[in-house]
Amino acid sequence: MSGLPYLDGETLRELVPPALAVRVLQDALLGGLDPEETPRRPVVEVPAGQLLLMPATWGAHAGIKIAGVAPANPSRGLPRIQGTYLLMDGETLTPLAAMDGIALTTLRTPAVSALAVRHLAGPGAATMAVFGTGPQAWGHVESFRAVRPVERVIVIARDPVKAEAFAARCEAEGLRADTEAGPEAAELIACCTSARVPLFAGRLARDDATVVAIGSHEPDAREIDDDLVARATVFVEARGAALAEAGDLIVPLRSGTITTGHLAGNLRELVTGAVHPGPGPRVFKSVGMAWEDLVVAVAAYEAWT
């Protein structure tokens, strides 16, 4: 491990811009990667929050992310989620590089969402609403722009000061920003929060809207409500992961609002064309999976070498 290269957040962003991250994820799925085969991540409860262990293997590489989720960190001026990624040779498990695990997460999660949007949203979708103002919210703006002609961003946040600052950042990038409109005005809706209850009334989502919910991986936490889930065509990264971790789906399943048959397909089925979206809103629920980290980490390492 002596002299193991370390790729920090700035380096990762330079090596793998959003469009490339979307492309390598799609290529992996088209190349045979099956998200359903990714090992389930152990989640260990600790006094400060949770420890997550996320291993995966694909092709010539293996990797593992160790992440900590500390809900009290924002009040300390620290990120809520922190961690490190270790990339290894797939045959020998020799370590190849370490990476900023949170920067990797901030890069791959919006790219996964954007990949779903590429296959779910209308080609002219130009207005997006984003719930949240953190790194994931900004990552979704950047990644959605890589796959759709986004011109206007509706910023929805509890803190008006942060909302205005986020809007100013959007405008500095040549976008029109709005802090007054709601999700009903958007063709694309990105939910990027740590909310534990739905962020908006699902009836507000337009029939042509594509909604991405990425904020939680806990069976009791949710960002979207039963009404939206029930009327939408729903896609997930992997059925197994979603049925174990996605409160946005588990809660309406428990109540009988939907059944497991309501899940239209996983991301691989969507990307390969095995399953097609139906009428009404489209929902993509993501919990974050280890295969996504690995695919993007490999792209970064190959670009670096």
136 and 100 in one domain? Answer: no
What pLDDT does residue 222 have? 95
What pLDDT does residue 62 have? 98
d(CA 286, CA 235): 9
> Does residue 1 belong to any structural domain of this protein?
no
189 and 60 in one domain? Answer: no
Q: What is the mean pLDDT of residues 88-108?
A: 97
Give percent of the chain with pLDDT exceeding 70: 99
98 and 234 in one domain? Answer: no
**3-state per-residue secondary structure call for 58-120:** ECCEEEEEEEEECCCHHHHCCCCEEEEEEEEECCCCCEEEEEEHHHHHHHHHHHHHHHHHHHH
Identify whether the C-beta of residue 134 lies closer than 8 Å to the C-beta of residue 162.
no
Q: Which residues contact 5 (CB under 8 A, 6 or more apart)?
A: 96, 97, 98, 304
Q: What is the mean pLDDT of residues 92-96?
A: 98
Helix (H, G, I), strand (E, B) or coil at 7: strand
> Does residue 284 belong to any structural domain of this protein?
yes
Q: What is the mean pLDDT of residues 230-234?
A: 96
Helix (H, G, I), strand (E, B) or coil at 161: helix
Nearest to 106 by CA among 88, 128, 125, 83: 83
Q: What is the CATH number of the domain that holds 43?
A: 3.30.1780.10
Residue 34: CB atoms within 10 Å: 12
Q: What is the mean pLDDT of residues 82-100?
A: 97
> Does residue 213 belong to any structural domain of this protein?
yes
Residue 169: CB atoms within 10 Å: 16
123 and 95 in one domain? Answer: no
Q: How confident is the model at residue 42 (pLDDT cuts 50, 70, 90)?
A: confident
300 and 285 in one domain? Answer: no
245 and 144 in one domain? Answer: yes
**3-state per-residue secondary structure call for 203-248:** HHCCCCCEEEECCCCCCCCCCCCHHHHHHCEEEECCHHHHHHHCHH
Tokens representing residue 89 in the block: 């040779």
pLDDT in tens, 246-268: 999 999 999 999 999 999 999 99
> Does residue 200 belong to any structural domain of this protein?
yes
Q: What is the CATH number of the domain that holds 276?
A: 3.40.50.720
67 and 128 in one domain? Answer: no
**Average of per-residue pLDDT values in the chain:** 95
What pLDDT does residue 2 have? 54
Total structural domains within the chain: 2
What pLDDT does residue 1 have? 47
Q: What is the mean pLDDT of residues 10-27?
A: 98
172 and 63 in one domain? Answer: no
43 and 160 in one domain? Answer: no
d(CA 81, CA 11): 19
Query: Is the whole model's pTM more than 0.85, yes or no?
Result: yes
138 and 263 in one domain? Answer: yes
Tokens representing residue 221 in the block: 């936490």
Tokens representing residue 229 in the block: 């889930």
Q: Give residue 130's domain range.
A: 109-289
Q: What is the mean pLDDT of residues 118-128?
A: 97
Asked if pLDDT for residue 271 goes beyond 60, the answer is yes
What pLDDT does residue 262 have? 94
> Does residue 93 belong to any structural domain of this protein?
yes
Identify whether the C-beta of residue 215 lies closer than 8 Å to the C-beta of residue 223.
yes
121 and 69 in one domain? Answer: no
d(CA 68, CA 210): 30
Asked if pLDDT for residue 284 goes beyond 50, the answer is yes
Residue 45: CB atoms within 10 Å: 8
> Does residue 81 belong to any structural domain of this protein?
yes
> Does residue 124 belong to any structural domain of this protein?
yes
190 and 58 in one domain? Answer: no
> Does residue 79 belong to any structural domain of this protein?
yes
Q: What is the mean pLDDT of residues 282-288?
A: 97
